[in-house]
Amino acid sequence: MPAELVKRNIRRMRMLGFASFAALIALSVDAGVAAQERGGRGAGGGGGLANKNPDLPAGAFTASSTLAHTTLKHEWVDIPLAGRSLHTWIAYPAGAGNAPVVVVMTHEAGLDDWMRAVADQLALQGFIAVAPDILSGRGPRGGHFESFRFPADVIHAMEKLPQDEAVRRYKAALEYGLKLSRARPKSAALGIGMGGADSLRFAAEVPSLDAAVAFYGVAPDERVLARIKAPLAGFYGEDDPRVMPTVRTAEATTKRLGKTYEVHVYPGATQSFLRATVEGQNSAAAAAAWPAAINFLRQHLN
């Protein structure tokens, strides 16, 4: 089976002391392609790393091809922001009907192909996905996300972005999205990793938000939770020792405060289980978590 092949390759690399992520990518892609060539489960929409499940976001190896082949309407817009512009990716559902707006909050690596593919998946499932590049104007020579040469540079820039500035940029994206001709007056935030933490904090800053979803990311403290009115949902890998204590504390706090915080924890899964489906039980976690998140959004935005 392709998953077993990938896991064997990872174990072999670790035993040999390999540190090259490029080598891991090559081995993983080979596994997915092999599954397709054999006509096995990986070829049918449920298993191979080189094959996207239509009901789930793209993985690390299918994001770019998902964007290249999407049939959904999408566009880049530059939202005015204090004399500058907020470079923003918007993906629209099929058809011409109105739809609720979901602001997509990026992981530590910024608005890369994978995050834009998450937006595409949200649009595929009926939402207008507004994904701002919160590093707009903060790259080399005042550039956007694409101006950074290395992912590590993006992560460093994200760390330097003040929290209040991130919130200001996400607010601008939400306001713009709600003014779109196809937008319904319903909105939510969905964030992943660092964006997961941002999503829950954003709910405290925007009382009109109808829902907030976090995929991993540190949960906020009581001072923030006390200000939140929107229902929250969080999806976490149990094997995430930095995040899980904050989640359990926030879960107890919201119960005491009488607020809605649906916590889903997946045994054997790590952080980044949506993107990196090879490790542990990440694939099973992604298959369970994403449909639950979509159902949560539909419940509160429809």
pLDDT tens per residue across all 302 residues of the chain: 344 444 444 443 333 333 333 333 333 333 333 333 333 333 333 445 667 899 999 998 899 999 999 999 999 999 999 878 999 999 999 999 999 999 999 999 999 999 999 999 999 999 999 999 999 988 888 889 889 889 899 999 999 999 999 999 999 999 999 999 999 999 999 999 999 999 999 999 999 999 999 999 999 999 999 999 999 999 999 999 999 999 999 999 999 999 999 999 999 999 999 998 888 899 999 999 999 999 999 999 98
Q: Which domain holds residue 104?
A: 55-301
Packing angle of the helix pair 2-16, 21-38 (nearest 10 deg): 160
* CATH code of the domain in which 207 resides: 3.40.50.1820
Whether residue 235 is found in the same domain as residue 179: yes
| Helix (H/G/I), strand (E/B), else coil: 289 | helix
Extract the tokens encoding 175: 């306001």
Distance (Å, whole) CA 123 – CA 91: 6
82: how many CB neighbours lie within 10 A of its CB? 11
**Residue 38, pLDDT score:** 30
Are residues 173 and 130 in contact, defined by beta-carbon separation less than 8 angstroms? yes
Whether residue 228 is found in the same domain as residue 282: yes
Distance (Å, whole) CA 35 – CA 50: 9
Whether residue 78 is found in the same domain as residue 95: yes
Whether residue 32 is found in the same domain as residue 180: no
Domain tally, the chain: 2
Whether residue 8 is found in the same domain as residue 76: no
Whether residue 89 is found in the same domain as residue 217: yes
**Residue 230, pLDDT score:** 98
**Residue 83, pLDDT score:** 79
Whether residue 223 is found in the same domain as residue 170: yes
**Residue 49, pLDDT score:** 62
Whether residue 87 is found in the same domain as residue 31: no
Whether residue 66 is found in the same domain as residue 89: yes
pTM for the whole structure: 0.83
Whether residue 110 is found in the same domain as residue 46: no
**Residue 48, pLDDT score:** 57
**Residue 52, pLDDT score:** 87
Distance (Å, whole) CA 157 – CA 288: 32
Whether residue 45 is found in the same domain as residue 69: no
Distance (Å, whole) CA 63 – CA 127: 19
At residue 242, φ and ψ (nearest 5 deg) are -75, -35
**Residue 84, pLDDT score:** 87
Whether residue 24 is found in the same domain as residue 144: no
